[in-house]
Amino acid sequence: MARPTDSDTPMMQQYRAAKEAHPDMLLLFRMGDFYETFGADAELVSRVLDLRLTSRDSNVPMAGFPYHQLERYLQKLLQAGYRVAICDQVEDASQAKGLVRREVTRVVTPGTVTEDELLDPRQANHLAAVHGEGNQWGLAWLDLTSGGFWAADLESDRLLDELGRLRPSECLVADSRLEFWQSQLAGTLGGPLVPRPDWTFDPVTALETLKSHLGVHTLAGFGFDDQQPCLIAAGAILVYLRETLKSACPHLQKIQPYQPERVLHLDEVTRRSLELTRTLRDHSREGSLLSVIDRTVTPMGARLLHDWLVAPLTNRSAIEERHDAVGEWLVDATGRLEVRAHLMAAADLHRLAARVSTGRASPRDLTAISRTLSLLPRIKAKLAGRRATRLQTLESQLELCPDLRQRLDTALQDDPPLNPRDGGVIREGYHAELDELRQLAREGKGWIARFQAKEITRTGINSLKVGFNQVFGYYIEVTHVHAARVPPEYRRVQTLKNAERYTTPELKEYEEKVLRAEERSRQLEWELFQALREEVSAYTPRLLRLGDVLAELDVLTAFAELAASRQYTRPQMVDAPILQIEAGRHPVLEQSLPPGTFVPNDVRLDAESGVLWLITGPNMSGKSTFIRQVALLTLLAHAGSFLPARAATIGIVDRIFTRVGASDELSRGQSTFMVEMTEAANILNNATSRSLVILDEIGRGTSTYDGVSLAWAITEHLHDVIGCRALFATHYHELAQLADSLTGLRNYHVLVQETNQTIVFLHRIAPGSAGRSYGIHVAQLAGIPLPVLQRAQAILAELETRHQLPTVSVDRRRTRKRADSPSLFGDDI
């Protein structure tokens, strides 16, 4: 919008000045009881919020909503990825001389919001920044609501995976690099890319900002080299926070190096394919693995569970510490239920501490902190004497903060108002002057009653009454019938239809005394609340640590609750490259099917039973369910959960890869087959001998010969070169011949029962290869017309007679020697 001009009204000049100061944000401009937008902002807001678009003088578009609906509409704007500046009236309209003064009092962006009503309590809210050149990129991110601040230098592929894991609400980039990052990061973020002035990514500026904030001369004490690109990204985030929040964010007291090697690597394809946190169909939480295993009772725990699920551990000792804790809570059902009951009453300490630190906490936020602190002694008592190392650690870290609790209980009313300026926040007996002022206000009613009785007696006017309004203050009202009895010292202030209103020097003096007391009382109470909030701010690091303890305790007891309710068992974690699951069940499907109907299956990947299973069978028979199930159970074990299985021994894995179906990515110009091959290439180039690879069809997007050839070669590479544990579900039953030459490959198939030209899927995995694909039978179940099925059957019989899909026998040694041959198999077919 253009700068203020002489032709604008004073109010529009005021609006344009505020808009110029926040040009890249939507400006909500308070006008009386409404927040209004103008010009291009109004056109956008009317579309996003479905508001009626009107116009003002000079046909300026205009759209707005009532001020009391701010949070509702603000949430919609943030969810749509917009940043908002709120321009409020900062003086009372009745006392303003001329135009009411307005200022931007609040800037709200998707990555910096801290209010509960604007956030999903179960999900972290990340603000990220990226910076760098070449193949090494600096990534920094934080969750302002919890105080967590991390940074790492990553290669380009890993950067995309981490951003996909974090799904930041905002990602800051240098303005001059916006187009580059738009092309690199498309589809990986949870919110918008935010271009920032290049100077905010200047190494000197960014590093000095970061060091100044943390109060250090070097970042070496936090585990960084001062030259790392990720620290420049971190500094750029702090510059952004200072501009938007107008706060130093003292709860951001450290920055932690993120070490990817400590967590099981899951790329975006794997997270999406396994539907860990969102479903493929509608991208909702409901129906994902997270939704069906979540038994947490606090928002802090729900967010931590999400983090554990998308970044499981790879350190065997740390995993077993979690399993030990879950196991102890599992056998102590009474203790578990009592702890969960206490946790259920706890407030979200992470987000409360963040609001305190940024000066946004309300009186109710402080009472919520006090209420949560009151629960800690009982929780600590339940942790005392525990055997599990992790529970002992949590008990030692659970600081009761009795001094803070006493201070809050002494200062605050039990149920204070949300707005501290409304009064009624500070408890009686906390501050002597405030008590005196309140007493004066309370005595006002008695004084007025006595004054009214005295005046009735003195004047003989029985209908005389004393009242109050905002315009004239205290007044004496006398009906016209008694006008002759009005004393001469009464001064008329208002004439009504049937009465006159008066004041007296005595009444005016008392009014000024009371009003001064009320005004002073409100101001003093506001000052006392601010001072109290500042005191609580000093406890922010301790509150954040308490939040960490309660969150982890919540997840561990939730895992135990899940295990108890669903009959999960503890997996044995080992370093050997094996994977053995007895009677494993799919954690999502078994909860959606009628009880007892899900068919469990075994898997055994080791030197004796084979490290690569080739699984054949028709569509709908359960191949895909089975291989996903194995991946999900492996992941859950690494996250610290027990498993839906009779028994399990899980060898530590470093990565889980999936290739489980593909779709066109038209926005990137990629066909289904191109997507399939890209995902396969990622696996072949990055999997190690400690990885778990899940393949659901390879080569189906091209011709039969090409497809079989690629699937054949990829299987050989997984077996011979990578040597990882792998499950490969395929329709190419020709690949079963590989068992003759690959010592670690075993053939398995899904059992099918044929009766009267129909098939019944038994969903049972058994040794051996499927002799048929049953595609025509599946087509029949799908409703393909009978003539088409009959014709397909005839064609199939003829092709099989002619051996159009021949048995493939390839000397792999000769194939390798002829790697430059234009044909994959050369003359060896």
Residue 726, in any domain of the structure: yes
Q: Which of 398-435 are b and which e, b meaning 16 or more Cβ less than 10 Å from the residue's Cβ? A: bbebeebbebbeebbeeebeeebeebebbbeebbeebe
Residue 475: give its domain's CATH number: 1.10.1420.10
| Structural tokens at position 78 | 């943030």
pTM recorded for the entire structure: 0.86
Place of tokens 């027990």: 642
Measured CA to CA, the distance from residue 461 to residue 308 in angstroms comes to 79
- In the sheet that holds 612-616, the strands lie side by side as 265-266, 655-660, 692-696, 725-730, 612-616, 745-755, 758-767
Long-range (24+ apart) CB contacts under 8 A made by 154-161 are 154/260, 156/184, 157/267, 157/682, 157/686, 158/260, 158/265, 159/130, 160/184, 160/185, 160/188, 160/268, 161/265, 161/266, 161/267, 161/268
Examine the domain organization and report whether 553 and 660 are in the same domain. Answer: no
Examine the domain organization and report whether 582 and 561 are in the same domain. Answer: no
**Residues 683, 649: contact at Cβ < 8 Å?**
no
Measured CA to CA, the distance from residue 266 to residue 271 in angstroms comes to 6
Examine the domain organization and report whether 337 and 395 are in the same domain. Answer: yes
Residue 51, in any domain of the structure: yes
Residue 782, in any domain of the structure: no
What does the pLDDT read at residue 32? 87
| Phi, psi for 178 (deg, rounded to 5) | -60, -50
Examine the domain organization and report whether 437 and 329 are in the same domain. Answer: no
What does the pLDDT read at residue 471? 78
Residue 590, in any domain of the structure: yes
Measured CA to CA, the distance from residue 393 to residue 553 in angstroms comes to 11
Examine the domain organization and report whether 90 and 151 are in the same domain. Answer: no
The total of structural domains in the chain comes to 5
Examine the domain organization and report whether 719 and 740 are in the same domain. Answer: yes
Number of residues assigned to the chain: 829
Cβ neighbour number for residue 329 with a 10 Å cutoff: 26
Cβ neighbour number for residue 599 with a 10 Å cutoff: 18
Pairing of strands 102-108, 84-89: antiparallel
Residue 59: give its domain's CATH number: 3.40.1170.10
What does the pLDDT read at residue 821? 33
Examine the domain organization and report whether 546 and 478 are in the same domain. Answer: no
| Structural tokens at position 751 | 């059992």
Q: Which runs of consecutive H residues, i.e. helices, occur in 414-539?
A: 432-459, 505-537
Residue 190: give its domain's CATH number: 3.30.420.110
Last residue within a domain, chosen from 518, 550, 566: 566
Which portions of the chain are predicted below pLDDT 50? Answer: 1-2, 4, 6, 664-667, 669, 805-806, 808, 813-829
Q: Which distant-in-sequence residues (6+ apart) come within 8 Å of 41 by Cβ?
A: 1, 19, 26, 27
Examine the domain organization and report whether 85 and 102 are in the same domain. Answer: yes
Measured CA to CA, the distance from residue 60 to residue 493 in angstroms comes to 44
Place of tokens 């020697």: 817
Measured CA to CA, the distance from residue 633 to residue 601 in angstroms comes to 12
What does the pLDDT read at residue 774? 72
CA dihedral angle for residue 711, residue 713, residue 719, residue 721, rounded to 10 degrees: -140
Examine the domain organization and report whether 626 and 723 are in the same domain. Answer: yes
| Structural tokens at position 823 | 């044909």
Q: 298: buried, middle or exposed (CB in 10 Å: 19+, 13-18, 0-12)?
A: buried
**Residues 539, 399: contact at Cβ < 8 Å?**
no
Half-sphere exposure of 214 (CA within 13 A, CB side): 22
What does the pLDDT read at residue 7? 55
| Structural tokens at position 801 | 């007679």
Distance, CA of 697 to chain centre: 33
CA dihedral angle for residue 453, residue 454, residue 457, residue 459, rounded to 10 degrees: -110
Helix (H, G, I), strand (E, B) or coil at 463: coil
- In the sheet that holds 84-89, the strands lie side by side as 54-55, 61-66, 34-38, 26-31, 84-89, 102-108
C-alpha dist (Å) from residue 575 to 117, 308, 315, 466, 652: 45, 20, 10, 87, 5
Q: In which domain, by residue range, is 37 found? A: 10-108
Residue 666: give its domain's CATH number: 3.40.50.300
Q: Tell me 314's DSSP state.
A: -
Residue 280, in any domain of the structure: no
Give 681-715 pLDDT, tens digit per residue: 999 999 999 999 999 988 777 777 888 889 999 99
Q: Which of 105-131 are b and which e, b meaning 16 or more Cβ less than 10 Å from the residue's Cβ? A: ebbbbbbbbbbbebbeebbbbbbbbbb
C-alpha dist (Å) from residue 593 to 476, 588, 625: 77, 9, 13
Examine the domain organization and report whether 628 and 766 are in the same domain. Answer: yes
Cβ neighbour number for residue 314 with a 10 Å cutoff: 19
Measured CA to CA, the distance from residue 657 to residue 679 in angstroms comes to 9
What does the pLDDT read at residue 521? 87
C-alpha dist (Å) from residue 330 to 99, 335, 785: 66, 9, 54
R_g of the chain, CA atoms, integer Å: 35
Q: Which of 661-682 are b and which e, b meaning 16 or more Cβ less than 10 Å from the residue's Cβ? A: ebeeeeeeebeebebbbebbeb
What does the pLDDT read at residue 803? 56
Q: Which runs of consecutive H residues, i.e. helices, occur in 466-621?
A: 505-537, 540-566, 589-592
Q: Which runs of consecutive H residues, i.e. helices, occur in 246-348?
A: 268-273, 289-293, 299-310, 316-331, 333-344
Examine the domain organization and report whether 722 and 583 are in the same domain. Answer: yes
Helix (H, G, I), strand (E, B) or coil at 828: helix
Helix (H) or strand (E) holding 102: strand 102-108
What does the pLDDT read at residue 829? 30
Residue 413, in any domain of the structure: no
Question: One-letter amino acid identity for 201?
Answer: F
Examine the domain organization and report whether 101 and 56 are in the same domain. Answer: yes
What does the pLDDT read at residue 9? 84
Last residue within a domain, chosen from 62, 83, 108: 108
Last residue within a domain, chosen from 56, 84, 108: 108
Residue 289, in any domain of the structure: no
Measured CA to CA, the distance from residue 649 to residue 764 in angstroms comes to 21
Measured CA to CA, the distance from residue 398 to residue 384 in angstroms comes to 11
Residue 325, in any domain of the structure: yes
Helix (H, G, I), strand (E, B) or coil at 736: helix
Helix (H, G, I), strand (E, B) or coil at 477: strand
Give 125-153 pLDDT, tens digit per residue: 999 999 987 778 999 999 998 889 999 99
